[in-house]
Structure 1
Amino acid sequence: MKNSYLSVLLTFCIVFTAQAQKSPKSIKITYIKSSNGTVIENQDPVLLFTSNKNCLVTSDKIINNKADFPIEQVFTSFQSNSFFQLAQFGNSKSIVTVDSLALPKQKFELSSETKKILGYTCKKAKTVINSNTIELWYTNQFNLKGAPTVLGQNLGLVLEMVRNGNYQVVASKVELSNTIPSILTIPNPLPKKVDQLTYRDLLWKSRFTNIEVFKKEVINFSDASKSNDSILRFANGTIIVRKIKFPEIKKGSQIFVDVTEQSNGDAYDRTGSVFLIPKDKSISYLDGLQKGVTLLPVYENGNGKKYQGVVRTENYVPLLELMRFFTPFGVKQYNTIQLKNKVWQDSVYYRQDISEMLPYLNNQEVWIGMNIGNYDKGGHKASLNISIHSEEDNKPKSAWLLPLFNTNNVMEMAGQEYATMFDREKGLEVTFEVPEGLKNVQLRYTSTGHGGWENGDEYLPKKNTILIDGKVTFAFTPWRTDCGSYRLSNPASGNFGNGLSSSDYSRSNWCPGTVTNPVFIDLGNLPAGKHTMQIKIPQGAVEGTSFSAWNVSGCLIGS
């Protein structure tokens, strides 16, 4: 009789425990991320806490106060059928956006297919978001719901998410509890509430450092253009310069420069440049801007002309060009011109990776400038930003940078000579010195041809040849054939009898409304010591008052 009683009691306890396991008050799930079947190294595991009222998606580092800002967590309220995305920033600022779980995009195709995950029977649901196929494996063995993302919170308890068949977020541990942790309490009061679009924008911008250099500044040709306390203006307003302090930049970070430009009156395509003024030597380009172009060292090729400030010397470093861009024909200002089936762009946006410039930017206070060559009182309106995106990788990065030459006559409107030095065999020549221990030396070379008439070099392919110590190292023909792609940024472009517009024509490595990308030329392990570099281009001959010129800039980078 006693044994029978114990047997009944034991059976009751087993059943009660099983029921408790099936009906926990809360559950904690740890998820591990994998890509192409391989677990991602050094990851921060996703954590899910859920009860019958609320759910929290967070991470191991956040819980242990080891996460970098911004910190993002998602609370779900099953009672109000809504979710709260909370973001915390390094400046102690927090924001929240609230939305409904019943989002239109959360429509699932339910499948009868099942599989076991950590011993739990799971069913499959599938959806497509932005062309990404998402598969969710969820279990209904508990009376609780939750998922490692906002997606699928109402399905059940999601133990695995698969994106496009090659990225997985899968549960590695499920912990059941008969208590509800305080971490599941939705903050009250909530941080500042913003709409979904604002939330995403602020979160995105917090992930990198943005340095606003110029904002909607007019770059024109006018005696009325004057400097102020922060922005210096030169060459009748066609050049603007500002001193900028850069923070410490981690090795491996990505650095971008971006420019937004509109016509403010000028109808023509113009050469634009974003540059840094090196102050390494006793004479700098800033001296020429402030005191006159004649102060800059002169380069001569034997044709009788004097080219100011274009090559490196013992006591002078030329402009370090960060980006070369070309304005279109009158974007925005001339959008009133109507052509059938043409909807003109409001502005042109240029963006370029300049990560190799890190040695001249890292923890430095430097002069950053921008110019657009023009002779119009209205000129152009432009903004300039430089953004720094922290990233650690093992790829070789430039630790050494040496500006060599820049023939772009930025001070054209203050008397700087056009770059016509390629009309002689000597071309452009510069001497430089390589220090000990450098590997993987490259020449960052930007080249564009100019001379806007039928036989001008702007419209004729011309080979550029680079020689080091008298030997040809590299040769190529810089040319762009895609100019017609940018017609909608060129409302004032002239139309010709053959059905083409001026902005359609192929050019010597540039188009109206585009950036000209530099070419990176491998020079190998240059021996330490002095070397001479020559740039040779078969520049076209002068025809009456028309002439050709080549704007080339180059710097050496190495690690």
Structure 2
Amino acid sequence: MKHCLLIVFAFFTIASTAQKNSKAYKITYSRSSNGKTIEGQDPVLVFSDANETIITSANNLAGKAEYPFEDTFITQNQGIVIQAAYLSATRKIFTSDSLSLGKQAFEIGNETRTILGYKCKKAKTVINSNTIELWFTNDLNIKGAPSVLGQKLGLILEMNRNNNYIISATKVEKIKSIPSSLSLLKSNFSALDALTYRDLVWKSRFITIPVFEDEIINFSDASKSNDSIFRFANGTIILKKIKFPEIKSGSQVFVDLKEQSNGDAYDRTGTVFAIPVYEKSSFMDGLKNGAKTLPIYENGNGKQYQGVVKTDAFSPLLELMRFFTPFGIKQYGHIQLKDKTWHESVPYRQDISELYSALSNQEVYIGTFIGNYDKGGHKVSLNITIHGEDKQQPKNTFALPLFNTTNIMEMAGQEYGTMFNNDKGLVVDFVLEKDIKNAQLRYITTGHGGWENGDEFVPKKNTIVLDGKEAFSFVPWRMDCGSYRLFNPASGNFNNGLSSSDYSRSNWCPGTVTNPMLIDLGDLKAGKHTIQIKIPQGPNEGGSFSSWNVSGILIGN
């Protein structure tokens, strides 16, 4: 940090005198992509004289830029680069580097062009597999560019990346001096190292909602709630109340979860879910008062299933992400095998943008469940991030949870999803108050149990029936589980040379997320509808049985 401050002091000393230099220029640049000028762009502005170059933009200069935005300050003689970021009206940061300009290597050819009346030569370099051509002139006896790249060559009038993204000068103006309003001396910045600076600038471009940080999900009578984290089912479920901001249509929303074993060696079912606070009757009632207080679903097979389907007065869990823990990651990293370097944690990340309308401007409980009977259990951290509007994203304005058979209260007596041993399977009646256009069923399905001949290891067709007609059918199956071997240090090894984590499974692998299927249902009229899920669930084998965790959310406009 001391080195950074010394560089900045040297820069300020030079910059204060450079403002008085009479040979200064203002260069305006325009950006184009695939041969077309980018509409609504904020033009890049470069101010340069014999000593100093400043890279900014028209909006930055006019005070109209949206946060975050950056300016770059360069002293050409000393090769000092200062990047300054305005994260908000009150938070400003900078970083400096005295070496980056000298690290740039270019191949300079003999080819020439005339741009805006100035003779230019071409320099070429390759950065991260991108071929970049810079056209520069020395006619003005100044140096500068619309980025840090190529500052030592001369004045860059065109940057061409892979022949599909071009920044080109549209105007070169001689000015009396560089505007004094651009001086860093007028702003109060916090000095940071380059890595921290880039990280803060990146994170300032989206909203991060922290939910859990290094929270334990285990099975223990000692697991108790506190002021912010609620714990249920002997600690296998954790929840936190979260207030979401308004999420504009077209924004992208992601769930980020990190998991490590804190003692449990086995692969376990996990889920991240939401429970609306405003519901008169919700799954929260069952968590507080017991699984038996939840609405019962029966299909004639003699069992009662608690809280799995929507009723007139009850909504099931809104599943955001289904994930599966690997065999003992981190905790069992001491197990040594030749050519195996175990990973330290599993990062799960999933786009849940299609559910934004159920979260926008809402107060909800966000929860995470990992089924286990281990006192050490698992350690998790969870964030939800909201990213700016993307016009190419779908704009669903409706989300209605219909069913969820994942028994997150397994450790408090909730029945497994075994209703598919009956031809009726799972049937949900629901009423739409309004017509829904472009309706889709966001469907997550995973098969479990039964050991070798059970549904976890045997492909089974899932059939979705809407209002008496088959809407979709498929066989959910994952054949890439061996790709995640390094997540699974405690995975059992067999005589055939395979590990347990290598085996294909019914739509899941130890250490992965299970992606939802988005099943087109067409336009649905207001009124009563029925959806049915049918799976040929396998029979019991001694003390083992098969089950299916399926969840469905109706989305559309």
Output the CA distance in 1 between the equivalents of 2:187 and 2:472: 65
Output the CA distance in 1 between the equivalents of 2:22 and 2:460: 76
| CA offset digits 1:324-357 (Å, max 9, x no partner) | 0000000000000000000000000000000111
The answer to whether the 8 Å contact 1:441/1:525 transfers is yes
| CA offset digits 1:106-162 (Å, max 9, x no partner) | 101011111111111111001111111111001100111100000011111100000
> Match for 1:434: what amino acid?
L
Output the CA distance in 1 between the equivalents of 2:436 and 2:469: 21
Output the CA distance in 1 between the equivalents of 2:32 and 2:457: 52
Deviation at 1:188, TM superposition (A): 6.5
Instruction: Specify the alignment match of 1:8 in structure 2.
Output: none
Equivalent residues in 2 for 1:136-535, closer than 5 Å: 136-183=134-181, 185-187=183-185, 191-279=189-277, 281-393=279-391, 395-535=393-533
Output the CA distance in 1 between the equivalents of 2:116 and 2:300: 81
Q: TM-score normalized by structure 1?
A: 0.94
Output the CA distance in 2 between the equivalents of 1:102 and 1:212: 35
Structure 1 residues 244 and 290: alpha-carbon distance in aligned structure 2, compared to 1, 3 A threshold:
same
The answer to whether the 8 Å contact 1:54/1:184 transfers is no
Structure 1 residues 452 and 547: alpha-carbon distance in aligned structure 2, compared to 1, 3 A threshold:
closer
| CA offset digits 1:35-84 (Å, max 9, x no partner) | 01100111111000111121110011111111111111100012321110
Structure 1 residues 220 and 102: alpha-carbon distance in aligned structure 2, compared to 1, 3 A threshold:
closer
Of residues 534, 549, 557 in structure 1, which corresponds to 2:555? 557
Structure 1 residues 484 and 102: alpha-carbon distance in aligned structure 2, compared to 1, 3 A threshold:
closer
Output the CA distance in 2 between the equivalents of 1:471 and 1:281: 31
Output the CA distance in 1 between the equivalents of 2:210 and 2:246: 17
Instruction: Specify the alignment match of 2:60 in structure 1.
Output: 62
SS in 2 for 1:440: strand
Deviation at 1:103, TM superposition (A): 4.0
Deviation at 1:393, TM superposition (A): 1.1
Bigger shift: residues 176-185 or 94-103: 176-185
| Equivalent residue pairs, number | 537
> Match for 1:306: what amino acid?
Q
Output the CA distance in 1 between the equivalents of 2:47 and 2:115: 18
Output the CA distance in 1 between the equivalents of 2:498 and 2:392: 48
Q: TM-score normalized by structure 2?
A: 0.94
SS in 1 for 2:453: coil
SS in 2 for 1:422: helix
> Match for 1:106: what amino acid?
Q
Instruction: Specify the alignment match of 2:133 in structure 1.
Output: 135
Deviation at 1:360, TM superposition (A): 1.2
Matched, 1:544 2:542: yes
SS in 1 for 2:437: coil
Identical-residue share of aligned pairs (%): 65
SS in 1 for 2:308: coil
SS in 2 for 1:459: coil
Output the CA distance in 2 between the equivalents of 1:65 and 1:540: 67
Structure 1 residues 394 and 326: alpha-carbon distance in aligned structure 2, compared to 1, 3 A threshold:
closer
The answer to whether the 8 Å contact 2:435/2:524 transfers is no
Bigger radius of gyration: 1
> Match for 1:176: what amino acid?
K
Structure 1 residues 115 and 372: alpha-carbon distance in aligned structure 2, compared to 1, 3 A threshold:
same
Bigger shift: residues 496-505 or 246-255: 246-255
Output the CA distance in 2 between the equivalents of 1:234 and 1:407: 18
Deviation at 1:527, TM superposition (A): 2.1
Equivalent residues in 2 for 1:110-125, closer than 5 Å: 110-125=108-123
> Match for 2:521: what amino acid?
L
Q: What 5-or-longer segments of structure 1 have no aligned partner?
A: 1-22
Structure 1 residues 494 and 511: alpha-carbon distance in aligned structure 2, compared to 1, 3 A threshold:
same
Structure 1 residues 184 and 248: alpha-carbon distance in aligned structure 2, compared to 1, 3 A threshold:
closer
Bigger shift: residues 451-460 or 174-183: 174-183
Q: What 5-or-longer segments of structure 2 have no aligned partner?
A: 1-20
Instruction: Specify the alignment match of 2:45 in structure 1.
Output: 47
Output the CA distance in 1 between the equivalents of 2:102 and 2:391: 39
The answer to whether the 8 Å contact 1:466/1:475 transfers is yes
Deviation at 1:437, TM superposition (A): 3.9
The answer to whether the 8 Å contact 1:105/1:129 transfers is no
Output the CA distance in 2 between the equivalents of 1:101 and 1:227: 52
Output the CA distance in 2 between the equivalents of 1:105 and 1:190: 30
Output the CA distance in 1 between the equivalents of 2:176 and 2:66: 32
> Match for 1:25: what amino acid?
K
Instruction: Specify the alignment match of 1:7 in structure 2.
Output: none
Bigger shift: residues 275-284 or 33-42: 275-284
SS in 2 for 1:69: coil
> Match for 1:234: what amino acid?
F
> Match for 1:26: what amino acid?
A
| CA offset digits 1:237-296 (Å, max 9, x no partner) | 000011001111111110000100000000000000000013454311001000111110
Output the CA distance in 2 between the equivalents of 1:369 and 1:299: 23
| CA offset digits 1:495-515 (Å, max 9, x no partner) | 000000000000000000000
Output the CA distance in 2 between the equivalents of 1:250 and 1:401: 15
> Match for 1:483: what amino acid?
C
Deviation at 1:452, TM superposition (A): 4.5
Output the CA distance in 1 between the equivalents of 2:98 and 2:145: 15
Deviation at 1:526, TM superposition (A): 1.6
Equivalent residues in 2 for 1:17-28, closer than 5 Å: 25-28=23-26
Output the CA distance in 2 between the equivalents of 1:57 and 1:133: 22
Output the CA distance in 2 between the equivalents of 1:451 and 1:392: 41
> Match for 2:396: what amino acid?
S
